[in-house]
Amino acid sequence: MPSFDIVCEIDMQEMDNAVNQVKKEISTRYDFKHSKASIELVDGVVKLTGDDVNNLNTVCEILRVKMVRRKLEAKSLEYGDIENATGDSKRQILTIQQGVDKELAKKVVKLIKQEKMKVQAAIQGEQVRVTGKKRDDLQAAMTLVRGMDADRPLHFTNFRD
């Protein structure tokens, strides 16, 4: 029986490359000269540090641009609050969202059931498995899920015929 999985995954190697590109740009840009601006990626968390809020926002915008160029979705970042760091500097934590959480999985399953499609959706850990008898039904389910407003990017993997 044909099936596919709905997941939310970010390629961490590409994310690491994007962060390294941001570091390189910060070190060469004139507006960051004599600035405490920095960025680092540790265990799925991006830590931004800057002199002020505008400095943080600029680093964050550079990160978004680098992510888009590497085909990573900026929607997968969850922005933390801007807090005071040592001295006059500011700090912000960006969490990379991995996996489909239970609420979003329930919304996906509910949406598929509401449309009364000829497919079944089941939550399996941090992914949703969709099965059906025909490939066309699965492709219709993919189109439906793509049109859904989700708080994180959803990808389709493990398509089996």
pLDDT in tens, 12-38: 899 999 999 999 999 898 888 888 888
Handedness of CA 19, 20, 21, 24 (dihedral sign): positive
Query: What is the reported pLDDT for 61?
Result: 92
Query: What is the reported pLDDT for 18?
Result: 92
All domains of the chain in start order, with CATH: 3-8+100-160 (3.30.70.860), 12-96 (3.30.70.990)
At residue 158, what are phi and psi to the nearest 5 degrees?
A: 60, 40
Query: What is the reported pLDDT for 37?
Result: 87
Query: What is the reported pLDDT for 65?
Result: 92
* Angle between the N-to-C axes of helices 102-114 and 135-146, in degrees from 0 to 180, rounded to the nearest 10: 120
**Runs of H (alpha helix) within the chain:** 12-28, 53-69, 102-114, 135-146
**pTM score, whole prediction:** 0.79
Write out pLDDT tens, residues 44-68: 899 999 888 888 889 999 999 999 9
Measured CA distances, 1 to 42, 116, 159 (Å): 40, 19, 11
Helix-then-strand count for the chain, H and E? 4, 9
